[in-house]
């Protein structure tokens, strides 16, 4: 086993243990939570090793890095999630490899994603990214629609050819009333999810929680956690 593979094996085992404990503490079954490993800034070789170790979901946040990586790993059966802020000029590329776009936060993006999915003959899963601290009509600093914009955007996704409304995603706010209160933030996201499922029963995916706060997300009821650092290590520089 290479040193890197040994390291990733150990890290994955630790994260798995954390998810198992969090599920047990919340009275949830382990199968209710899917681990998505965020491979941003790390090479395709790591994605390959993770796949060997049983990882089936990976996420990226920049098309420039993700596109060549997805191409290099096209032979693997992985589900690719796009979790970064998305410019409309990147949509065509992202739609060619992503299975799920978790960062849908405006109608212009819905239109572009629908067109790209149609051109590529693919169905794209979409999550509405919610900025829990954004004021009505505004967007979050790290992307996301304000809570009162969820319903309209969800209806737009549900009506768009080539797109499938899968649920909601959030990143716990660093500032504002939810700063340092991840559990409260994720509880709020779950309320929005319940409301959403009233109109769109199949949109039951809730993506929340990262390396630092996955326990809070599992406790609140998240179905998907997005873990980077705890599996791959601290990223050099920004990302």
Q: Is 128 exposed, middle or buried (0-12, 13-18, 19+ CB in 10 A)?
A: buried
Contact in structure between 82 and 62 (CB atoms under 8 Å): no
* Candidate ranges 71-79, 130-138, 177-185, 228-236; the one touching ligand PLP (CB under 6 A): 228-236
Contact in structure between 224 and 34 (CB atoms under 8 Å): yes
Residue 11 near ligand PLP by CB under 6 A: no
Subset of 102-141 contacting ligand PLP (CB under 6 A)? none
Contact in structure between 220 and 183 (CB atoms under 8 Å): yes
Show the binding pattern over residues 161-180: x = contacts ligand PLP (CB under 6 A), - = does not: ----------x---------
Task: Choose among 95, 113, 181, 186: nearest CA to 153.
Answer: 113
Residue 145 near ligand PLP by CB under 6 A: no
Q: Which tokens is 64 given?
A: 């420039």
Q: Closest separation between CB of residue 48 and ligand PLP, Å? A: 20
Show the binding pattern over residues 14-53: x = contacts ligand PLP (CB under 6 A), - = does not: ------------------------x-x-------------
- Site for ligand PLP, rule CB under 6 A: 38, 40, 61, 83, 171, 210-212, 226-230
């Amino acid at each position: 086993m290479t040193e890197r593979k040994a390291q990733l094996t150990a890290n994955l085992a630790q994260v798995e243990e954390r998810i198992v404990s969090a599920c047990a503490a919340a009275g949830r079954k382990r199968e209710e939570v899917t681990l998505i490993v965020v491979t941003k800034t790390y090479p395709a070789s790591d994605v390959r090793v993770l796949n060997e170790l049983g990882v089936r979901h990976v996420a990226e946040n920049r098309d420039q890095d993700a596109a060549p990586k997805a191409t290099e790993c096209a032979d693997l059966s992985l589900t690719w999630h796009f979790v970064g802020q998305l410019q409309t000029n990147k949509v065509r590329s992202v739609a060619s490899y992503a299975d799920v776009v978790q960062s849908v936060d405006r109608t212009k993006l819905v239109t572009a994603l629908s067109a790209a999915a149609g051109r590529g003959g693919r169905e794209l899963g979409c999550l509405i990214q919610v900025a829990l601290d954004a004021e009505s009509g505004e967007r979050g600093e790290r992307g996301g629609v304000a809570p009162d914009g969820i319903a309209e955007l969800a209806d737009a996704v549900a009506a768009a050819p080539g797109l499938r409304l899968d649920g909601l995603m959030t990143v716990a706010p660093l500032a504002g009333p939810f700063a340092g209160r991840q559990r409260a933030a994720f509880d709020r996201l779950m309320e929005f999810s319940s409301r959403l499922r009233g109109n769109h029963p199949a949109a039951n995916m809730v993506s929340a929680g990262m390396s630092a706060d996955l326990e809070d997300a599992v406790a609140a009821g998240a179905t998907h956690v997005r873990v980077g650092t705890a599996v791959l290590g601290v990223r050099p520089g920004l990302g």
